[in-house]
Amino acid sequence: MSASVSGMFQEELVTDDVDLKAEVERLKAENAQLKTQRGRSVSLKVSEKGGVSVYGLGRFPVTLYKEQWTKLLAMSEEIRAFIKENDAALKTKPE
């Protein structure tokens, strides 16, 4: 390889190394931010397929279509009563 080609290759490696380090730092910062968001409030989003997704309840979102949410919300008193009746058998998720 000629000196100029070798120099260009080394420059490219240095640039790639700098870019890689910058990306690692960006990902570390994003990861730290996501860790601090755990335990925060619950949020709602429209999923890619048009469902309603609830974030913040667990590791994964709970996603249902609007008809399913409507049916579930209509039986909210029944769910509350069920939870109350079965309180001794139900577990609470540790925070």
DSSP state of 71: H
Q: What is the pLDDT confidence band of residue 18, given thresholds at 50, 70 and 90?
A: confident
Mean residue pLDDT across the chain: 85
Contact indicator for 51, 69 with CB cutoff of 8 Å: no
Q: What pLDDT is recorded for position 82?
A: 98
Q: What is the pTM of this model?
A: 0.55
Contact indicator for 39, 95 with CB cutoff of 8 Å: yes
Choose the weakest-confidence range: 5-9, 44-48, 78-82.
5-9
Contact indicator for 49, 61 with CB cutoff of 8 Å: no
Local structure of 90: helix, strand or coil: coil
Q: What pLDDT is recorded for position 75?
A: 98
Rounded Cα distance between 66 and 74, Å, is 12
Residue 6 has pLDDT above 70, yes or no: no
pLDDT in tens, 57-94: 888 999 999 999 999 999 999 999 999 999 999 999 87
